Amino acid sequence: MKRQAGLSFTVVVMWVLLLVGTGAGTVAWAGDVYRIGGIFAVTGPSSFLGDPEKRSMEMAIDEINAAGGIDGRKLEAVIYDSEGEPTKAVLAANRLISRDRVLAVVGTSLTPTTLAVIPIMERNRIPLVSCAAGIDITEPVRPWIFKTAQSDALAVGAIYEHMKKEGIERIGILTVENAFGESGRHQLQTKAEEFGIQIVHASSFGARDTDMTAQLTRIRGTNPDAIVCWGTNPGPAVVARNLQQLNINVPLYQSHGVASPRFIELAGDAADGIYLPTGKILVADQLPEDDPQKEVLTRYIESFESRFRMPVSGFGGYAYDAVYLLAEALKGSDGDREKIRSSLEQISGHVGVTGIFNFSPEDHNGLSSDAFVMVRIENGEWKLLDQ
Amino acid sequence: MQEILQYFFSGITAGAVYAVIALGFTLLFNATGLINFAQGEFVMLGALVLITLWKVLALPLIVAFALSVAVVALIGILMERMALRTVRKPHPIVMVIITIGISIFLRGVGMLTWGKDAHSVEPFTQHAPVEVYGATLLPQSLWILGIVLIIVAGLQFFFKRTLAGKAMEACAISKKAAWLLGIPSEKMVLAAFAMSAAMGGVAGVLIAPITMSSYDMGTMLGLKGFCAAMLGGLGSVLGAVIGGLLLGVIEAFGVGLVASGLKDVLAFLILLLILYLRPSGLLGAKSIQRF
């Protein structure tokens, strides 16, 4: 039995090693051009973010080149796959800087990977436009670091405003145990008081958990007016299903992390009645004609869908906006990184897919809460709610 | 009271699935002394094959169920034939590392076949959930418990009452002695692989309707099943079932009464404690007979 125990220990250690994967990136090279790097989670569990981001970046670069490039120079993208892992993102960042000598970097897709590459970007004085949502990326403001994704704080604000209108005061929250969920929980807790909302119970679930009935039962015991679930697929779909199975008739709010058709597919009819904040892209066709973003959104959706023959996702726009922002900053810079950085900081009123960007030395995200709209899922469709 | 009962229902549902996975470990360990890393991947394959056959190809449930399990059992047989039997010096560590390779391979196959997204499927039957003293019992939980009961009864019958079962048990006790008595031990090992893989397939089929299935779901489930098998005592059919149910219930109560973040911590803490204090498990070889 001693030997068996020894073997079992080895088995456990190896199992942990199993959780690590492998992969490789793509390389491109050309002559006298402005070269921009990209680091996205193209494969791996976060590929739902990285894959559309990579496609959108390539599309934006091609569009700009087709229109004559910038100051007569073409743009060129060098994109690496981080697989959503900080170590691989760091490797990619070093390679982009030392081998590919890029002017600026777009990415990464996730908050942990972005936080891992920030020190490298700052040390080498390379502008980084991140596509991740975490508020820690741009708060406190770091001179070389920008981001295009809406901060979680804005999503929480949109949810709480809607709750206030509905007269909801006591809520239970259920967050996923990763950086996205932690950030969401933190924002939900810090903003609650401002909106007069009381969190009666905070619970969490693992990203790969198969059943959340125990957590929901505990939340039900505290009698909340609503439940907020904060996570990315597939967990929140399990929560939606469990809520329906347990017959808990309390409004469910989800985060923008599940704002994709995939969520409705996974949750089935349990998705009906769920409220969530999302970028305008999901409901572009329902936006009023006078919405300032309508034109950009329609153009982006049409070219994405005709080029890739797949439905547009809510996430590719982060990279698309990042490229267009960089293109604007590149104008007249003659490839000087410091000039790119300072003109990025001065961009204002830039209408993007995600929102209207107003950068300033104090704000490197540049979005306001109107970058989010509240939607309700009805019969498997997103329904824009009156703002 | 209502909550306690709900935690219990959640726990035995998850626990029953862990139990089936643990049975897969136990059956193989008994016949070969091998711990199969790819056990979790069999669960993944079972779930995803079921989704393809039942949801996409719209076969009747019972046919899809049987076919899914058969496909996974076949993969188990192929694994034994092609990857393990051909090893010249079957040292346990070599074998274990081969199964790791197979698990990575199967995960890759799963990713290429079904993509990186999660998939979901409806419960076996569309009954309304049953209310028991205010707690909700899902029809799928009843299906799972029922099927686990049938499996355990079937295995007990197989090992106690059939010649093949006794032959397999004989191989487990001493391969050489069994061979001297004319038992075709190689065939028995092959059968054990098929049965063990089939258990993984069954677990996958059972769990598919209550959760989301994706190519990378297997590793964690395999590890939980291994915890359950160790908890009950590796090698004991009854131990695997008790270990699985116990692990599921402990997890559910841990989430409900202590803190939700502790769910996986509890499972692995139990594994470490068992390995440290009682490597033979609760019902290990010391206290009762293997079968």
Domains and CATH numbers, chain A: 34-150+296-354 (3.40.50.2300), 153-278+372-384 (3.40.50.2300)
Contact at CB, A4 and B275, closer than 8 angstroms: no
* 3-class state of residue A70 by DSSP: strand
How far apart (Å, rounded) are the C-alpha atoms in residues A15 and A381?
A: 41
The values of phi and psi at residue A73, to 5°, are -105, 145
Nearest CA in chain B to A42: B116
Contact at CB, A203 and B279, closer than 8 angstroms: no
Q: Show residues of chain B in contact with A266, CB under 8 Å.
A: 118-120, 212
How far apart (Å, rounded) are the C-alpha atoms in residues B280 and B274?
A: 8
pLDDT of residue A329: 94
Residues 6+ away with beta carbon under 8 Å from B162: none
Nearest CA in chain B to A216: B256
How far apart (Å, rounded) are the C-alpha atoms in residues A169 and B182?
A: 75
Contact at CB, B103 and A1, closer than 8 angstroms: no
DSSP lists the bridge partners of residue A278 as A373
The closest of A205, A83, A84 to B212, measured between CA atoms, is A205
Q: Show residues of chain A in contact with B119, CB under 8 Å.
A: 266
Q: What is the 3-state secondary structure (H, E, C) of A4-54?
A: HHHHHHHHHHHHHHHCCCCCCCCCCCCCCCEEEEEEECCCCCCHHHHHHHH
Nearest CA in chain A to B208: A210
How far off is chain B from A338, nearest CA to CA, in Å?
40
Query: N- to C-terminal Cα distance for chain A?
Result: 67
Kindly give the confidence (pLDDT) of every residue in chain B, 291 residues in length, as a single tens digit, with 9 standing for 90 and above.
778 888 899 899 999 999 999 999 998 888 888 889 899 999 999 999 999 999 889 899 999 999 999 999 999 999 998 888 888 887 888 888 999 999 999 999 999 999 877 888 888 888 777 888 878 888 888 999 999 999 999 998 998 889 888 888 888 777 788 888 888 888 888 999 999 999 999 999 999 988 889 898 899 899 999 999 988 888 788 889 999 999 999 988 888 888 777 778 888 888 888 888 877 777 665 444 444
Kindly give the confidence (pLDDT) of every residue in chain A, 387 residues in length, as a single tens digit, with 9 standing for 90 and above.
445 556 666 666 666 555 543 333 333 334 478 999 999 999 877 888 899 999 999 999 999 999 998 988 999 999 999 988 999 999 999 999 999 999 999 989 988 899 999 999 999 999 999 999 888 898 889 999 999 998 888 899 999 999 999 999 999 999 998 878 888 999 999 999 999 999 999 988 888 788 888 889 889 889 999 999 999 878 899 999 899 888 888 999 999 888 888 888 888 889 999 999 988 988 888 998 888 999 999 999 999 999 999 888 888 999 999 999 999 999 988 889 999 999 999 999 999 999 999 999 999 999 988 889 999 999 988 999 876
Burial of A247 (0-12, 13-18, 19+ CB in 10 A): exposed
**Out of A9, A208, A213, whose CB is closest to B275?**
A9
B33 near B92, Cβ under 8 Å? Answer: yes
Please spell the DSSP secondary structure of B52-121, one letter per residue: IIIIIS---HHHHHHHHHHHHHHHHHHIIIIIITT-SS--HHHHHHHHHHHHHHHHHHHHHHH-SS-B--
Please spell the DSSP secondary structure of B157-169, one letter per residue: HHHHH-HHHHHHH
Contact at CB, A213 and B136, closer than 8 angstroms: yes
How far apart (Å, rounded) are the C-alpha atoms in residues A155 and B73?
A: 47
Nearest CA in chain A to B249: A214
Q: What count of other Cβ atoms lies within 10 Å of the Cβ of residue B258? A: 12
**Out of B97, B207, B216, whose CB is closest to A45?**
B216
Scan for tokens 């949810």, then name that residue: A159
pTM score, two decimals? 0.75
Contact at CB, A217 and B92, closer than 8 angstroms: no
Q: Tokens representing B167?
A: 């032959």
Q: Tokens representing B271?
A: 């594994």
Determine the topology of domain B2-277 in CATH: ABC transporter involved in vitamin B12 uptake, BtuC (1.10.3470)
* 3-class state of residue A79 by DSSP: strand
Q: What count of other Cβ atoms lies within 10 Å of the Cβ of residue A43? A: 18
How far is CA A386 from its chain centroid? Answer: 24
Would you tell me which residues 137-166 of chain B have a C-beta closer than 8 angstroms to some C-beta of chain A? Answer: 138
**Out of B9, B96, B136, whose CB is closest to A11?**
B96
